[in-house]
């Protein structure tokens, strides 16, 4: 239980409402006492009016105090709201993120940029369903045929050189099987594109419906020697973080444009 300290008592006494009430009671008490002892009815009535007036003034101060408090609260809320508009997106754990198959359930355009895109290609049924419904899927991965890139990538991961190669070979095999399930007249040059880039990725990016007002981007940071399941993410919505969304949208498209078609 909180104790009522001397400081609390002192602050209470100095409060304008309290001071008015005390002064009013003292004056009213004095007037009432002298009125009663002298049998002066008018003085007794005056005492009552003083008490009523004091109460009214105290209430006015109370209302002013509340108005000032509410104004301060509104000002603080406005500052917080402005801060939210200009602050960077919040980092999240992978466990806090919905899977691509959930976020992209109705997607018309999906762009994936990753080291090997191994985890994305495990969602074979989801990707096939989206392609069959006319969605465009673009995937860009690191060019592991470039020895310098492969050598630089391996230390970032928690696996070996052989592990990175195995992930990439698995990705390519899944892409091939996915293509085989599509109609022979499917427009691969537009609907399902695979490219590779010549740099060491420190971000994995998943953009859904990038050009739409409800577009969203997940940017996964690739720190040194951190397991994929523990990597931090930024979840950016066009409707909530327009400035940062524009930044990452431009980044995604620039990487894609500078990537080369990957022969499988």
Domains of the chain by range and CATH? 6-69 (no CATH), 91-261 (3.30.870.10)
pTM of the complete model = 0.65
**pLDDT exceeds 70 at position 111:** yes
Least confident of 24-28, 154-158, 172-176: 24-28
**Tens-digit pLDDT profile for residues 63-77:** 555 555 566 566 656
Confidence class for position 156, pLDDT limits 50, 70, 90: confident
Instruction: Look at residue 263 in the predicted model and tell me its pLDDT.
Output: 81
Instruction: Look at residue 230 in the predicted model and tell me its pLDDT.
Output: 80
Supply the DSSP string of the chain, one letter for each residue.
Answer: -----HHHHHHHHHSHHHHHHHHHHHHHHHHHHHHHHTT-HHHHHHHHHHHHHHHHHHHHHHHHHHHHHHHHHHHHHHHHHHHHHHSPPPEE-GGGSPPHHHHTTT-SEEEEEESS-HHHHT-HHHHHHHHHTT-EEEEEEE-TTSHHHHHHHGGGSSS-HHHHHHHHHHHHHHHHHHHHTS-TT--HHHHEEEEEESS--SEEEEEESTTSTT-EEEEEE--TT--GGG--EEEEETTT-HHHHHHHHHHHHHHHHH-EEPP-
Highest mean pLDDT: which range of 45-54, 109-118, 140-149: 109-118
**Tens-digit pLDDT profile for residues 28-57:** 555 555 555 555 555 555 545 555 555 555
Instruction: Look at residue 218 in the predicted model and tell me its pLDDT.
Output: 94
């Amino acid at each position: 239980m909180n104790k009522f300290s001397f400081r609390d008592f002192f602050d209470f006494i100095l409060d304008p409402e309290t001071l008015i009430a005390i002064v009013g009671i003292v004056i009213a008490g004095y007037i009432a006492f002298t009125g009663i002892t002298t049998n002066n009815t008018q003085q007794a009535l005056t005492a009552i009016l003083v008490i009523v007036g004091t109460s009214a003034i105290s209430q006015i101060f109370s209302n002013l105090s509340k108005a000032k408090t509410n104004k301060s609260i509104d000002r603080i809320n406005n500052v917080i709201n402005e801060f939210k508009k200009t602050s960077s997106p919040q980092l999240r754990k992978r466990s806090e993120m919905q899977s691509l198959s959930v976020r992209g359930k109705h997607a018309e355009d999906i762009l994936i940029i990753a080291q090997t895109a191994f985890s994305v290609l495990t969602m074979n049924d989801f990707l096939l369903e989206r392609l069959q419904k006319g969605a465009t899927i673009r995937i860009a991965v690191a060019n592991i045929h470039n020895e310098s890139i492969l050598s630089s990538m391996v230390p970032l991961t928690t696996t070996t050189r052989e592990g990175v190669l195995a992930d990439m070979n698995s990705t390519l095999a899944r892409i091939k099987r996915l293509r085989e399930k599509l109609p022979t007249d499917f427009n691969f040059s537009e609907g399902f594109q695979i490219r590779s880039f010549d740099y060491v990725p420190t971000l994995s990016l998943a953009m859904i419906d990038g050009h739409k007002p409800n577009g969203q981007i997940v940017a996964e940071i690739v720190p040194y020697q951190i397991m994929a399941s523990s990597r931090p993410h930024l979840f950016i919505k066009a409707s909530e973080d327009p400035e940062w969304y524009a930044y990452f949208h431009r980044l995604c498209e620039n990487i894609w444009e500078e990537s080369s078609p990957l022969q499988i």
